[in-house]
């Protein structure tokens, strides 16, 4: 028997059978991504995306060929606009983890005047400070990460959205780790621009990403060029709204995204998937407590549904723990891949994610392996 590699990471994991079934069929019957063959597939994917996320009336999804980070660059480069054409657009980026820092870095690199409200990893942004920075710097936009993967916590998206709305700022949110797996009402949260990818909460392959843009803003975005060639949402949308795409787009990947959306629908949509993730977390977090592991958390920052950040216990070396779990092939035929923390937390915290197509029994078996591997080090 070969060992099954269980991914307890957020990027690549086992996918629904429906998604995996696409590639062999497509290999026999590849589709040229043009005109009459592309339009219906693209149209179905976009409609199912709007429906799954409940934004048919308010937002349109622009599809991109890249991973999630490409969609961050596309959103910043296309949707952050200056009301005064004699100066660069200005953005306030709020960061409390690796992806907020990435957003600030990208904003700066593409020439946006960037104010960076940089907090310690996992710390809740102070709303008065956000408002002060927005007003003082007269920014055009506010950028936030919703599901904060580096600390497995959730940022106050709706509260900051209320500030953006009241002050008339474009609100750009990285929802790569929260779309499909956290309750999100784009309109209630006043989100103008929501960044997503197809591999994380949607359970497809990491080939495509998308940006949901509020319909009136998308019309404006179409009127001028974005700051980054290729990752230009206006250019893409002008073509996509009539069923095309300005470049080669991977139809196999589009069909896999459609299969992933159908599979999500079978699970009861976003709320059904959230319920599955919540039951995994109930089991896992009770198990961590029992083993004596401490959760990394900060006041006012709820835990993310996709995973848990844990303090590395005294006397334990993370790299040994990860290696032992990755080579855990005895007894149950499974081995487990866990994830280190990012940036400044890496030597104190590690992360265990609960994404993908795994049964609750898999997580029970993992807890036993985790306990044994920890005991091996602490005696």
Ligand X SMILES: *Cc1c(COP(=O)(O)O)cnc(C)c1O
Rounded CA separation 321/314 (Å): 13
Considering the complex, what minimum distance in angstroms separates the CB of residue 74 from ligand X?
12
Residue placing its CB nearer to ligand X in the complex, 306 or 367: 306
The answer to whether the beta carbons of residues 235 and 246 sit under 8 Å apart is: yes
Considering the complex, what minimum distance in angstroms separates the CB of residue 146 from ligand X?
7
Rounded CA separation 340/347 (Å): 8
Confirm or reject binding of residue 117 to ligand X (CB under 6 A). no
Q: How far is CA 310 from CA 146, 313, 340, in A?
A: 20, 9, 10
Using CB positions, name the residue nearest to ligand X.
68
Residue placing its CB nearer to ligand X in the complex, 115 or 155: 155
DSSP string, 67-78: -HHHHHHHHHHH
Rounded CA separation 99/289 (Å): 28
Residue placing its CB nearer to ligand X in the complex, 57 or 183: 183
Considering the complex, what minimum distance in angstroms separates the CB of residue 69 from ligand X?
3
The residue from 80, 177, 352, 370 that contacts ligand X (CB under 6 A) is 177
Stretch that binds ligand X, among 36-44, 52-60, 142-150, 222-230 (CB under 6 A): 142-150
Confirm or reject binding of residue 7 to ligand X (CB under 6 A). no
The residue from 16, 33, 68, 356 that contacts ligand X (CB under 6 A) is 68
Handedness of CA 103, 109, 115, 119 (dihedral sign): positive
Residue among 214, 224, 262, 186 at smallest CA distance from 62:
214
Q: 10 Å Cβ neighbour count for 193? A: 29
The residue from 49, 163, 176, 255 that contacts ligand X (CB under 6 A) is 176
Residue placing its CB nearer to ligand X in the complex, 203 or 365: 203
Residue among 246, 190, 251 at smallest CA distance from 45:
251
Largest CA distance in the chain: 67
Confirm or reject binding of residue 69 to ligand X (CB under 6 A). yes
CA 221 to chain centre: 23
Stretch that binds ligand X, among 21-29, 145-153, 290-298, 317-325 (CB under 6 A): 145-153
Confirm or reject binding of residue 174 to ligand X (CB under 6 A). yes
**Site residues for ligand X, window 187-226 (CB under 6 A)?**
197, 206
Stretch that binds ligand X, among 171-179, 255-263, 356-364, 365-373 (CB under 6 A): 171-179
Residues that bind ligand X (CB under 6 A): 67-69, 99, 145, 147, 149, 174, 176-177, 197, 206
């Amino acid at each position: 028997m070969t060992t099954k590699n269980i991914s307890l990471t957020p990027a690549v994991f086992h996918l629904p059978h429906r998604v995996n079934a696409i590639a062999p069929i497509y290999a026999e019957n590849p589709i040229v991504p043009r005109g009459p063959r592309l339009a219906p597939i693209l149209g179905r994917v976009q409609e199912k995306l709007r429906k799954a996320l409940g934004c048919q009336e308010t937002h349109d999804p622009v599809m991109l060929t890249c991973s999630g980070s490409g969609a961050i660059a596309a959103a910043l480069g296309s949707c952050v606009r200056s009301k005064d054409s004699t100066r660069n657009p200005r953005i306030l980026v709020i960061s409390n983890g690796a992806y907020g820092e990435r957003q600030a870095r990208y904003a700066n690199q593409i020439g946006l005047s960037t104010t960076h409200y940089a907090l310690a990893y996992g710390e809740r942004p102070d709303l008065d400070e956000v408002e002060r920075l927005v007003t003082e710097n007269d920014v055009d936009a506010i950028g936030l990460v919703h599901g904060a993967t580096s600390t497995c916590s959730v940022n106050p998206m709706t509260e900051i959205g209320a500030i953006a709305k009241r002050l008339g700022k474009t609100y750009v949110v990285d929802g790569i780790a929260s779309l499909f797996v956290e309750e999100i009402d784009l309109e209630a949260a006043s989100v103008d621009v929501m960044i997503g990818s197809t591999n994380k909460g949607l359970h497809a392959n990491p080939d495509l990403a998308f940006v949901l843009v509020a319909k009136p803003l998308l019309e404006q975005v179409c009127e001028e060029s974005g700051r980054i060639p290729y990752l230009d949402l206006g250019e893409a949308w002008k073509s996509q709204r009539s069923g095309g795409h300005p470049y080669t787009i991977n139809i196999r990947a589009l069909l896999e995204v459609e299969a992933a959306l159908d599979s999500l629908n079978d699970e009861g949509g976003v709320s059904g998937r959230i319920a599955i993730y919540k039951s995994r977390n109930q089991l896992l977090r009770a198990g961590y407590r029992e083993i004596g592991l401490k959760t990394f958390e900060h006041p006012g920052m709820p835990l993310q549904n996709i995973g848990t950040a844990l303090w590395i216990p005294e006397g334990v070396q993370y790299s040994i723990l990860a290696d032992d779990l990755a080579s855990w092939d005895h007894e149950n035929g499974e081995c487990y891949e866990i994830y280190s923390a990012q940036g400044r937390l890496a030597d104190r915290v590690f992360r265990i994610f609960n994404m993908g197509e795994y049964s609750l029994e898999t997580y029970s078996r993992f807890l036993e392996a985790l306990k044994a591997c920890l005991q091996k080090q602490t005696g």
